[in-house]
Amino acid sequence: MAEAVFHPPKRKRRVFESYKAPFPVDVGGKDFRLCQAEIINNNVIVRNPEDIEQLYNKGYFGKGILSRSRPVFSISDPQLVAKWRGVNTNMPIITSQKYQRRVQWAQSVLQEQGLDSCSISRILESYTKPLGLPLCTGDGDGQAGHSCTTGSTGNAELGRKCGREGAQRPEGHKQHSQEGGDPGSASRDQEQEHPRDMAEGSCHRDPAVPWGCEGKQSPEQRAWEEMDSRECAPEYVLVQEEEEGSSCPEDDSTDAQDNLVKKEVLVCRKNPFRIFEYLQLSLEEAFFLVYALGCLSVYYGEEPLSIVKLWEVFSEVKPDFKTTYMAYHYFRGKGWVPKVGLKYGTDLLLYRKGPPFYHASYSVIAELVDDNFEGSLRRPLSWMSLSGLNRTNANASKELMLCYLIRPSDMTAEEMATPECMKRIKVQELIVSRWVSSRERSEPDEF
Protein backbone atom coordinates (compact mmCIF):
# COMPACT_ATOMS: atom_id res chain seq x y z
CA MET A 1 0.00 0.00 0.00
CA ALA A 2 1.44 3.32 -1.05
CA GLU A 3 1.81 6.20 1.35
CA ALA A 4 -0.58 9.10 1.01
CA VAL A 5 0.76 12.31 -0.44
CA PHE A 6 -0.29 15.39 1.49
CA HIS A 7 -1.75 18.17 -0.64
CA PRO A 8 -1.98 21.61 1.00
CA PRO A 9 -5.50 23.06 1.38
CA LYS A 10 -6.66 25.32 -1.41
CA ARG A 11 -7.19 28.84 -0.10
CA LYS A 12 -10.13 30.84 -1.38
CA ARG A 13 -9.35 33.84 -3.52
CA ARG A 14 -11.63 36.27 -1.71
CA VAL A 15 -11.67 36.30 2.07
CA PHE A 16 -13.81 38.97 3.71
CA GLU A 17 -13.29 38.19 7.39
CA SER A 18 -10.58 37.50 9.91
CA TYR A 19 -10.03 34.31 11.86
CA LYS A 20 -11.04 34.68 15.52
CA ALA A 21 -10.78 31.39 17.41
CA PRO A 22 -11.07 27.63 16.82
CA PHE A 23 -13.60 27.10 19.63
CA PRO A 24 -16.23 29.27 21.36
CA VAL A 25 -14.38 29.05 24.69
CA ASP A 26 -11.58 31.26 25.96
CA VAL A 27 -8.33 29.96 27.38
CA GLY A 28 -8.55 30.24 31.15
CA GLY A 29 -12.33 30.52 31.19
CA LYS A 30 -12.42 34.23 32.02
CA ASP A 31 -15.19 35.11 29.56
CA PHE A 32 -16.92 31.74 29.52
CA ARG A 33 -20.43 31.79 28.05
CA LEU A 34 -22.91 28.93 28.30
CA CYS A 35 -25.04 28.95 25.19
CA GLN A 36 -28.53 27.49 24.97
CA ALA A 37 -30.20 25.41 22.28
CA GLU A 38 -33.38 23.40 21.97
CA ILE A 39 -34.55 20.32 20.09
CA ILE A 40 -37.32 21.13 17.59
CA ASN A 41 -38.49 18.45 15.16
CA ASN A 42 -35.31 16.40 15.71
CA ASN A 43 -33.14 19.45 14.96
CA VAL A 44 -30.95 21.40 17.37
CA ILE A 45 -31.76 25.12 17.08
CA VAL A 46 -30.02 28.11 18.68
CA ARG A 47 -32.28 31.18 18.91
CA ASN A 48 -30.36 33.72 20.96
CA PRO A 49 -28.53 36.18 18.64
CA GLU A 50 -25.59 36.47 21.04
CA ASP A 51 -25.23 32.68 21.20
CA ILE A 52 -25.48 32.46 17.42
CA GLU A 53 -22.67 34.97 16.99
CA GLN A 54 -20.52 33.22 19.57
CA LEU A 55 -20.91 29.73 18.11
CA TYR A 56 -20.50 30.64 14.45
CA ASN A 57 -17.73 33.23 14.69
CA LYS A 58 -15.60 31.00 16.89
CA GLY A 59 -15.38 27.61 15.26
CA TYR A 60 -18.02 27.97 12.54
CA PHE A 61 -20.52 25.70 14.22
CA GLY A 62 -23.88 25.28 12.49
CA LYS A 63 -25.47 27.24 9.66
CA GLY A 64 -28.27 29.77 9.30
CA ILE A 65 -31.61 28.19 8.47
CA LEU A 66 -32.28 30.90 5.85
CA SER A 67 -28.70 31.40 4.63
CA ARG A 68 -26.09 29.27 2.90
CA SER A 69 -23.76 29.26 5.89
CA ARG A 70 -23.36 32.41 8.01
CA PRO A 71 -26.75 33.52 9.44
CA VAL A 72 -27.04 36.94 7.77
CA PHE A 73 -30.63 36.82 6.46
CA SER A 74 -32.45 40.14 6.21
CA ILE A 75 -35.75 41.10 4.60
CA SER A 76 -34.26 44.41 3.49
CA ASP A 77 -33.91 44.82 -0.28
CA PRO A 78 -30.26 45.66 -1.16
CA GLN A 79 -31.30 47.64 -4.23
CA LEU A 80 -33.67 49.78 -2.22
CA VAL A 81 -31.04 50.31 0.47
CA ALA A 82 -28.63 51.60 -2.18
CA LYS A 83 -31.35 53.72 -3.74
CA TRP A 84 -32.33 55.36 -0.42
CA ARG A 85 -28.78 55.63 0.94
CA GLY A 86 -29.42 59.29 1.76
CA VAL A 87 -31.82 58.19 4.52
CA ASN A 88 -29.82 57.36 7.63
CA THR A 89 -31.79 54.54 9.25
CA ASN A 90 -31.14 51.00 10.42
CA MET A 91 -34.68 49.82 9.63
CA PRO A 92 -35.21 47.36 6.74
CA ILE A 93 -36.43 48.86 3.48
CA ILE A 94 -38.76 46.65 1.43
CA THR A 95 -41.10 46.97 -1.52
CA SER A 96 -44.85 47.26 -1.12
CA GLN A 97 -45.29 43.88 -2.86
CA LYS A 98 -43.11 42.15 -0.27
CA TYR A 99 -44.99 43.88 2.52
CA GLN A 100 -48.35 42.78 1.12
CA ARG A 101 -47.14 39.17 1.08
CA ARG A 102 -46.44 39.41 4.78
CA VAL A 103 -49.88 40.85 5.35
CA GLN A 104 -51.36 37.85 3.54
CA TRP A 105 -49.29 35.45 5.66
CA ALA A 106 -50.48 37.16 8.84
CA GLN A 107 -54.04 36.93 7.54
CA SER A 108 -53.65 33.18 7.05
CA VAL A 109 -52.34 32.78 10.61
CA LEU A 110 -55.33 34.67 12.02
CA GLN A 111 -57.72 32.59 9.92
CA GLU A 112 -56.24 29.42 11.40
CA GLN A 113 -57.12 30.81 14.83
CA GLY A 114 -60.80 30.85 13.87
CA LEU A 115 -61.31 34.61 13.58
CA ASP A 116 -63.92 35.99 11.19
CA SER A 117 -62.97 38.14 8.21
CA CYS A 118 -64.22 41.38 9.79
CA SER A 119 -62.07 40.91 12.87
CA ILE A 120 -59.06 40.00 10.76
CA SER A 121 -59.46 43.09 8.59
CA ARG A 122 -59.82 45.32 11.63
CA ILE A 123 -56.76 43.83 13.33
CA LEU A 124 -54.53 44.07 10.28
CA GLU A 125 -55.72 47.56 9.39
CA SER A 126 -54.92 48.80 12.87
CA TYR A 127 -51.59 46.97 13.05
CA THR A 128 -50.25 47.97 9.63
CA LYS A 129 -51.28 51.63 9.56
CA PRO A 130 -48.54 54.21 8.85
CA LEU A 131 -46.50 55.34 11.81
CA GLY A 132 -44.46 58.45 12.46
CA LEU A 133 -40.76 57.83 12.97
CA PRO A 134 -37.78 60.19 12.68
CA LEU A 135 -35.78 59.71 9.51
CA CYS A 136 -32.33 61.14 8.98
CA THR A 137 -30.34 61.96 5.91
CA GLY A 138 -26.66 61.25 5.44
CA ASP A 139 -25.72 64.34 7.48
CA GLY A 140 -27.72 63.07 10.46
CA ASP A 141 -30.38 65.79 10.34
CA GLY A 142 -33.73 64.19 11.12
CA GLN A 143 -37.31 65.32 11.02
CA ALA A 144 -40.35 63.82 12.67
CA GLY A 145 -42.04 62.31 9.68
CA HIS A 146 -43.03 58.98 8.25
CA SER A 147 -42.03 59.21 4.61
CA CYS A 148 -39.38 60.29 2.17
CA THR A 149 -40.01 60.99 -1.48
CA THR A 150 -38.26 60.31 -4.74
CA GLY A 151 -39.30 61.02 -8.28
CA SER A 152 -39.33 58.75 -11.33
CA THR A 153 -39.82 59.48 -15.01
CA GLY A 154 -41.14 56.46 -16.87
CA ASN A 155 -38.69 53.60 -16.49
CA ALA A 156 -35.72 55.84 -15.93
CA GLU A 157 -33.61 55.78 -12.81
CA LEU A 158 -35.29 57.30 -9.82
CA GLY A 159 -34.12 60.79 -8.94
CA ARG A 160 -33.84 61.42 -5.25
CA LYS A 161 -35.60 64.34 -3.61
CA CYS A 162 -34.43 63.49 -0.11
CA GLY A 163 -31.30 65.62 0.04
CA ARG A 164 -29.17 67.09 2.73
CA GLU A 165 -32.01 69.18 4.09
CA GLY A 166 -33.64 66.12 5.66
CA ALA A 167 -36.41 63.65 4.92
CA GLN A 168 -39.36 65.39 3.33
CA ARG A 169 -43.00 64.75 4.02
CA PRO A 170 -45.50 65.14 1.19
CA GLU A 171 -48.55 67.13 2.10
CA GLY A 172 -50.82 64.28 1.16
CA HIS A 173 -49.32 62.15 3.95
CA LYS A 174 -49.31 64.59 6.84
CA GLN A 175 -52.73 63.45 7.94
CA HIS A 176 -51.64 59.82 8.02
CA SER A 177 -48.67 60.73 10.18
CA GLN A 178 -50.91 62.43 12.71
CA GLU A 179 -53.32 59.51 12.72
CA GLY A 180 -50.50 56.99 13.14
CA GLY A 181 -48.83 58.84 15.99
CA ASP A 182 -45.67 57.43 17.53
CA PRO A 183 -44.95 53.73 17.40
CA GLY A 184 -45.30 53.31 21.11
CA SER A 185 -48.84 54.66 21.26
CA ALA A 186 -49.85 52.63 18.22
CA SER A 187 -48.41 49.51 19.78
CA ARG A 188 -50.21 50.18 23.07
CA ASP A 189 -53.53 50.68 21.30
CA GLN A 190 -53.06 47.45 19.41
CA GLU A 191 -52.19 45.50 22.55
CA GLN A 192 -55.34 46.75 24.24
CA GLU A 193 -57.50 45.65 21.30
CA HIS A 194 -56.10 42.23 20.39
CA PRO A 195 -52.94 41.46 22.35
CA ARG A 196 -52.93 37.69 21.87
CA ASP A 197 -54.06 37.71 18.26
CA MET A 198 -51.30 39.97 17.00
CA ALA A 199 -48.69 38.29 19.21
CA GLU A 200 -49.35 35.05 17.39
CA GLY A 201 -49.91 36.69 14.03
CA SER A 202 -46.80 38.84 14.08
CA CYS A 203 -44.35 36.28 15.48
CA HIS A 204 -43.61 33.39 13.17
CA ARG A 205 -42.50 30.63 15.47
CA ASP A 206 -42.63 26.89 15.85
CA PRO A 207 -45.47 25.64 18.12
CA ALA A 208 -43.02 23.36 19.89
CA VAL A 209 -41.04 26.30 21.28
CA PRO A 210 -41.86 26.71 24.98
CA TRP A 211 -43.32 30.05 26.07
CA GLY A 212 -41.83 29.83 29.53
CA CYS A 213 -43.36 28.80 32.82
CA GLU A 214 -44.72 30.59 35.83
CA GLY A 215 -43.63 30.38 39.42
CA LYS A 216 -39.98 30.06 40.39
CA GLN A 217 -37.77 30.97 37.50
CA SER A 218 -34.22 29.89 36.93
CA PRO A 219 -31.73 32.05 35.01
CA GLU A 220 -32.23 29.78 32.00
CA GLN A 221 -36.01 30.26 32.12
CA ARG A 222 -35.62 34.02 32.41
CA ALA A 223 -33.34 33.94 29.39
CA TRP A 224 -35.98 32.06 27.40
CA GLU A 225 -38.69 34.56 28.39
CA GLU A 226 -36.49 37.52 27.50
CA MET A 227 -35.87 35.92 24.13
CA ASP A 228 -39.60 35.33 23.60
CA SER A 229 -40.41 38.93 24.50
CA ARG A 230 -37.71 40.19 22.13
CA GLU A 231 -39.08 38.04 19.30
CA CYS A 232 -42.65 39.18 19.91
CA ALA A 233 -41.70 42.86 19.96
CA PRO A 234 -42.90 44.69 16.84
CA GLU A 235 -40.49 45.12 13.96
CA TYR A 236 -40.64 48.43 12.09
CA VAL A 237 -39.92 48.49 8.36
CA LEU A 238 -39.82 51.19 5.70
CA VAL A 239 -42.09 50.35 2.79
CA GLN A 240 -41.52 52.01 -0.57
CA GLU A 241 -44.92 53.09 -1.87
CA GLU A 242 -46.19 55.37 -4.58
CA GLU A 243 -47.73 58.57 -3.31
CA GLU A 244 -51.41 58.83 -4.21
CA GLY A 245 -52.17 61.52 -6.78
CA SER A 246 -48.51 62.37 -7.18
CA SER A 247 -48.18 61.78 -10.94
CA CYS A 248 -47.68 65.05 -12.78
CA PRO A 249 -45.91 66.16 -16.01
CA GLU A 250 -42.22 66.78 -15.62
CA ASP A 251 -42.32 69.80 -17.95
CA ASP A 252 -44.68 71.59 -20.33
CA SER A 253 -44.02 69.22 -23.22
CA THR A 254 -46.91 67.92 -25.29
CA ASP A 255 -45.98 64.30 -24.68
CA ALA A 256 -47.04 64.54 -21.06
CA GLN A 257 -47.86 60.86 -20.61
CA ASP A 258 -44.27 59.78 -21.21
CA ASN A 259 -42.90 62.38 -18.80
CA LEU A 260 -45.08 61.61 -15.78
CA VAL A 261 -43.18 61.80 -12.50
CA LYS A 262 -44.16 59.10 -10.02
CA LYS A 263 -43.25 60.17 -6.54
CA GLU A 264 -42.24 57.30 -4.30
CA VAL A 265 -42.24 57.55 -0.54
CA LEU A 266 -40.90 55.52 2.36
CA VAL A 267 -43.70 54.77 4.78
CA CYS A 268 -42.94 53.36 8.21
CA ARG A 269 -45.15 50.41 9.15
CA LYS A 270 -45.05 47.46 11.51
CA ASN A 271 -44.17 44.11 10.02
CA PRO A 272 -47.21 41.87 10.60
CA PHE A 273 -45.30 38.61 9.97
CA ARG A 274 -41.74 38.44 11.23
CA ILE A 275 -39.34 35.77 10.03
CA PHE A 276 -36.46 34.93 12.32
CA GLU A 277 -33.25 33.22 11.32
CA TYR A 278 -31.84 30.74 13.80
CA LEU A 279 -28.66 28.70 13.88
CA GLN A 280 -29.13 25.02 13.12
CA LEU A 281 -26.53 22.68 14.56
CA SER A 282 -25.92 19.19 13.29
CA LEU A 283 -26.27 16.48 15.93
CA GLU A 284 -22.51 15.96 15.89
CA GLU A 285 -21.81 19.67 16.37
CA ALA A 286 -24.32 19.97 19.21
CA PHE A 287 -22.94 16.97 21.08
CA PHE A 288 -19.34 18.17 20.64
CA LEU A 289 -20.25 21.53 22.17
CA VAL A 290 -21.95 19.79 25.10
CA TYR A 291 -19.57 16.88 25.70
CA ALA A 292 -16.14 18.10 24.61
CA LEU A 293 -16.34 21.85 25.32
CA GLY A 294 -19.17 22.12 27.86
CA CYS A 295 -20.32 25.46 26.44
CA LEU A 296 -23.83 24.44 25.33
CA SER A 297 -27.00 23.28 27.06
CA VAL A 298 -29.56 21.49 24.91
CA TYR A 299 -33.15 21.72 26.13
CA TYR A 300 -36.08 19.50 25.31
CA GLY A 301 -39.05 21.30 26.79
CA GLU A 302 -38.04 23.09 29.97
CA GLU A 303 -35.18 20.92 31.21
CA PRO A 304 -31.66 20.54 29.80
CA LEU A 305 -30.65 17.05 28.74
CA SER A 306 -27.66 15.31 30.28
CA ILE A 307 -24.75 14.04 28.22
CA VAL A 308 -25.84 10.41 28.48
CA LYS A 309 -29.41 11.32 27.60
CA LEU A 310 -28.25 13.32 24.59
CA TRP A 311 -26.14 10.35 23.45
CA GLU A 312 -29.24 8.16 23.69
CA VAL A 313 -31.64 10.64 22.03
CA PHE A 314 -29.31 11.47 19.13
CA SER A 315 -28.68 7.76 18.53
CA GLU A 316 -32.43 7.22 18.22
CA VAL A 317 -32.88 10.17 15.88
CA LYS A 318 -29.89 9.14 13.72
CA PRO A 319 -29.04 5.41 13.92
CA ASP A 320 -25.44 5.93 12.77
CA PHE A 321 -24.85 8.91 15.06
CA LYS A 322 -22.23 7.14 17.18
CA THR A 323 -20.09 6.38 14.13
CA THR A 324 -20.30 9.83 12.60
CA TYR A 325 -19.75 11.57 15.92
CA MET A 326 -16.61 9.58 16.67
CA ALA A 327 -15.20 10.67 13.33
CA TYR A 328 -16.32 14.26 13.94
CA HIS A 329 -14.73 14.30 17.40
CA TYR A 330 -11.49 12.87 16.04
CA PHE A 331 -11.08 15.40 13.24
CA ARG A 332 -12.15 18.36 15.39
CA GLY A 333 -9.45 17.38 17.84
CA LYS A 334 -6.95 17.41 14.97
CA GLY A 335 -7.79 21.03 14.17
CA TRP A 336 -10.11 20.50 11.19
CA VAL A 337 -13.56 22.04 10.85
CA PRO A 338 -15.88 19.17 9.82
CA LYS A 339 -19.11 19.96 8.00
CA VAL A 340 -21.87 17.77 6.61
CA GLY A 341 -20.68 16.08 3.41
CA LEU A 342 -24.06 15.20 1.93
CA LYS A 343 -23.40 17.41 -1.10
CA TYR A 344 -20.57 15.13 -2.21
CA GLY A 345 -22.07 11.83 -1.09
CA THR A 346 -19.97 11.48 2.07
CA ASP A 347 -20.37 11.90 5.81
CA LEU A 348 -18.06 14.84 6.47
CA LEU A 349 -16.12 17.56 4.68
CA LEU A 350 -12.90 18.73 6.32
CA TYR A 351 -11.99 22.42 6.18
CA ARG A 352 -8.83 24.09 7.40
CA LYS A 353 -9.72 26.98 9.75
CA GLY A 354 -13.23 27.25 8.31
CA PRO A 355 -15.33 27.44 5.12
CA PRO A 356 -14.72 31.20 4.63
CA PHE A 357 -10.96 30.69 4.25
CA TYR A 358 -10.30 27.39 2.48
CA HIS A 359 -12.07 24.91 0.26
CA ALA A 360 -12.73 21.51 1.77
CA SER A 361 -9.68 19.26 1.46
CA TYR A 362 -11.18 15.84 2.23
CA SER A 363 -14.50 14.05 1.90
CA VAL A 364 -14.78 11.47 4.67
CA ILE A 365 -16.75 8.23 4.90
CA ALA A 366 -16.79 6.81 8.45
CA GLU A 367 -17.14 3.11 9.20
CA LEU A 368 -17.20 1.30 12.56
CA VAL A 369 -15.37 -2.06 12.42
CA ASP A 370 -13.78 -4.53 14.81
CA ASP A 371 -10.15 -5.54 15.19
CA ASN A 372 -10.29 -7.67 12.04
CA PHE A 373 -11.87 -4.87 9.99
CA GLU A 374 -15.13 -6.80 9.92
CA GLY A 375 -18.62 -5.75 10.80
CA SER A 376 -21.87 -4.56 9.29
CA LEU A 377 -20.79 -1.64 7.11
CA ARG A 378 -23.01 1.41 6.89
CA ARG A 379 -22.22 1.86 3.22
CA PRO A 380 -21.01 -1.29 1.48
CA LEU A 381 -19.29 0.13 -1.60
CA SER A 382 -18.81 -1.75 -4.83
CA TRP A 383 -15.86 -0.99 -7.09
CA MET A 384 -18.17 0.89 -9.44
CA SER A 385 -19.76 3.05 -6.72
CA LEU A 386 -16.36 3.69 -5.12
CA SER A 387 -14.91 4.77 -8.46
CA GLY A 388 -17.83 7.07 -9.14
CA LEU A 389 -17.65 8.61 -5.66
CA ASN A 390 -13.92 9.14 -6.02
CA ARG A 391 -14.36 10.76 -9.44
CA THR A 392 -17.07 13.09 -8.08
CA ASN A 393 -14.79 14.34 -5.31
CA ALA A 394 -11.71 14.53 -7.53
CA ASN A 395 -13.57 16.80 -9.96
CA ALA A 396 -14.22 19.14 -7.00
CA SER A 397 -10.52 19.10 -5.96
CA LYS A 398 -11.21 16.95 -2.90
CA GLU A 399 -9.65 13.71 -1.77
CA LEU A 400 -11.79 10.79 -0.68
CA MET A 401 -10.91 9.45 2.77
CA LEU A 402 -12.16 6.28 4.43
CA CYS A 403 -12.09 6.67 8.22
CA TYR A 404 -12.18 3.31 10.01
CA LEU A 405 -13.17 3.47 13.68
CA ILE A 406 -11.77 0.28 15.24
CA ARG A 407 -13.39 -0.93 18.41
CA PRO A 408 -12.06 -3.81 20.53
CA SER A 409 -13.71 -7.17 20.05
CA ASP A 410 -14.56 -7.38 23.74
CA MET A 411 -16.46 -4.07 23.82
CA THR A 412 -20.04 -4.67 24.93
CA ALA A 413 -23.27 -2.88 24.03
CA GLU A 414 -23.40 -1.42 27.55
CA GLU A 415 -20.07 0.32 26.96
CA MET A 416 -21.32 1.72 23.64
CA ALA A 417 -24.34 3.21 25.44
CA THR A 418 -22.19 6.06 26.80
CA PRO A 419 -19.70 8.37 25.09
CA GLU A 420 -16.94 6.99 27.34
CA CYS A 421 -16.56 4.17 24.82
CA MET A 422 -14.54 6.54 22.61
CA LYS A 423 -11.56 6.11 24.93
CA ARG A 424 -11.06 2.60 23.56
CA ILE A 425 -11.66 3.43 19.91
CA LYS A 426 -8.74 3.52 17.47
CA VAL A 427 -8.80 5.37 14.17
CA GLN A 428 -7.21 4.48 10.87
CA GLU A 429 -7.44 6.75 7.83
CA LEU A 430 -7.25 5.55 4.25
CA ILE A 431 -7.08 7.97 1.31
CA VAL A 432 -8.50 6.63 -1.94
CA SER A 433 -6.73 7.80 -5.09
CA ARG A 434 -7.19 6.82 -8.70
CA TRP A 435 -4.32 4.86 -10.19
CA VAL A 436 -3.42 6.03 -13.69
CA SER A 437 -1.14 3.59 -15.44
CA SER A 438 0.47 6.19 -17.68
CA ARG A 439 1.48 8.24 -14.65
CA GLU A 440 2.30 5.58 -12.10
CA ARG A 441 4.19 2.99 -14.13
CA SER A 442 7.87 2.72 -13.44
CA GLU A 443 10.54 3.67 -15.92
CA PRO A 444 10.80 1.15 -18.77
CA ASP A 445 13.67 -1.23 -18.55
CA GLU A 446 16.56 -0.55 -20.84
CA PHE A 447 17.28 -3.31 -23.23
Which has more confidence, 334 or 147? 334
- What positions carry a catalytic annotation? 351, 359, 398
* Across 303-328, average pLDDT: 95
For 193-249, what is each residue's pLDDT tens digit? 443 334 343 334 443 333 333 445 565 665 656 666 667 788 899 999 987 665 555
Percent of all residues in the chain with a pLDDT value above 70, rounded to a whole number: 69
Percent of all residues in the chain with a pLDDT value above 90, rounded to a whole number: 52
pLDDT score of 314 more than 90: yes
132, 181 contact by CB (below 8 A)? yes
- Under the banding of pLDDT at 50, 70 and 90, the label for residue 439 is low
pLDDT score of 298 more than 70: yes
Q: Residue 205's pLDDT is what?
A: 41
pTM over 0.85: no
Nearest CA to 105 among 17, 10, 204, 251? 204
Separation between Cα atoms, residue 158 and residue 177, nearest integer Å: 24
Q: Residue 445's pLDDT is what?
A: 53
Q: Residue 161's pLDDT is what?
A: 33
Q: Residue 71's pLDDT is what?
A: 93
Which has more confidence, 178 or 88? 88
- Under the banding of pLDDT at 50, 70 and 90, the label for residue 305 is very high
Q: Residue 261's pLDDT is what?
A: 63
For 322-373, what is each residue's pLDDT tens digit? 999 999 999 999 999 999 999 999 999 999 999 999 999 999 999 999 988 8
Which has more confidence, 169 or 129? 129
pLDDT score of 251 more than 80: no
Nearest CA to 54 among 18, 28, 27, 21? 21
Q: Residue 114's pLDDT is what?
A: 92
For 44-80, what is each residue's pLDDT tens digit? 999 999 999 999 999 999 999 999 899 999 999 999 9
Which has more confidence, 381 or 312? 312
Q: Which residues contact 409 (CB under 8 A, 6 or more apart)?
A: 370, 371, 372
- Under the banding of pLDDT at 50, 70 and 90, the label for residue 285 is very high
Whole-number average pLDDT of the chain: 78
Which has more confidence, 301 or 340? 340
Least confident of 107-116, 191-200, 307-316: 191-200
For 380-434, what is each residue's pLDDT tens digit? 888 899 999 999 999 999 999 999 999 998 999 899 999 999 999 999 999 998 7
Bridge partners, residue 379, by sequence: none
